[in-house]
């Protein structure tokens, strides 16, 4: 069986990228392989993770360069894994294939433009919700507005800080959901 080629777009440490790489090694992801990693931040640690794993990787802060690399690699699926830039309608349309994103809350809560990273967890704690989690969704022109693929809940503890909550959401939800979503989408198409 021919595996789907995945490009992972990152902006920082690449912890979700590492979860995807680890899932490939463990055989959780069987129908796809990470063929390309692109960061819009030049010194993102995730680029070092890609290098260590032997994955071709680039720093581009321009969507046209990103798209050129994605097309050159014949990418089937684009995965936003801590990519802190909203893709333009033109990019989404030009790629034409599935683009998925992991968001650190249960959409439709604490999402949309400006709600990303630690800010999501700060808002959840400020609001006083008892359950949060993560959502994998398709990307469209509305930030966090695409069809939901999968969600996983994480209970909030009384002594949680934004940092402890962020870590638990990553470990219990993001690192589980994202690899499984990649496998499911790869098997479908």
Task: Indicate which residues carry an active-site annotation.
Answer: 103
Q: How many residues does the chain have?
A: 189
Q: List all residues 6 or more positions away from 107 whose beta carbon is below 8 Å from its beta carbon.
A: 135, 137, 144, 148, 151
The vertex-61 CA angle with 77 and 122, nearest 5°, equals 80
**Residues in a beta bridge with 78:** 7, 99
Tokens found for residue 62: 């321009």
Radius of gyration of the chain (CA): 16
**Residues in a beta bridge with 6:** 34, 77
CA distance 34 to 29: 10
Contact indicator for 111, 118 with CB cutoff of 8 Å: no
Contact indicator for 138, 146 with CB cutoff of 8 Å: yes
């Amino acid at each position: 069986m021919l595996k789907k080629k995945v490009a992972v777009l990152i902006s920082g440490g690449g912890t979700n990228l590492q979860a995807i790489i680890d899932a490939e090694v463990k055989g959780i992801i069987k129908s796809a392989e990470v063929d390309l990693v692109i960061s819009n931040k030049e010194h993102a640690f995730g680029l070092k993770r890609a290098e260590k794993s032997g994955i071709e990787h680039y720093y581009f802060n321009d969507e046209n360069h990103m798209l050129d690399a994605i097309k050159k690699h014949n990418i089937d699926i684009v995965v936003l894994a801590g990519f802190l830039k909203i893709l333009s309608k033109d990019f989404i349309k030009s790629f034409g294939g599935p683009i998925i994103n992991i968001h650190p809350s249960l959409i439709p809560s604490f999402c949309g433009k400006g709600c990303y990273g630690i800010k999501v967890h700060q808002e959840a704690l400020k609001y006083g919700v008892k359950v949060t989690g993560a959502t994998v969704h398709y990307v469209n022109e509305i930030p966090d507005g695409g069809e939901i693929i999968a969600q996983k809940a994480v209970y909030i503890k009384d002594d949680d800080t934004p940092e402890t909550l962020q870590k638990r959401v990553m470990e219990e939800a993001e690192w589980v959901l994202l690899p499984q979503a990649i496998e499911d989408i790869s098997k479908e198409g």
